[in-house]
Structure 1
Amino acid sequence: MTTIYLAVLVVYVLGFAGMYFYSLKRDVVCGLERNPREAFMLALFWPPLLAILVLHILVENIILCMRRRGG
């Protein structure tokens, strides 16, 4: 296992733990019932969700820039 793969694995595991506990905390803060299954699913799929969000922001910024230029 190379250093890059190990670093990616560490980032994924830390992101998984962070998203899991963040989701459980938000359930409590919002007055909802704690849902560990939903928190697990969110934590499991956080990289694709983050990629979709970043892509959406980039496309939105490109459209906004094109409108400003009149193109």
Structure 2
Amino acid sequence: MEDVIHVDEKLFDMTTVNRRYVLLPDEAVSTRRVRSKCHIPKAVVLAAVAMPHSDPRAVGEFVQRLDGRAILRP
């Protein structure tokens, strides 16, 4: 089980068709236009999880930081 990497891909919509806002009395209502529900922009997030491995021959910052923290970078 030490040589297994779990990869997960998630697709998020950048906006929703029906979104509610709470506005102050002096704020104007903003107009949001979407041409079609099918053409809403999307963002993909890819995450990979594996057991940390250290190489005794390697020297560097990554080898010193194997403390079990999870790092997710876009």
TM-score by length of 2: 0.25
Higher strand proportion (structure 1 or 2)? 2
Higher relative contact order (CA 8 A, sep 6+): 2
Larger radius of gyration: 2
Q: What is the TM-score normalised by the length of structure 1?
A: 0.26
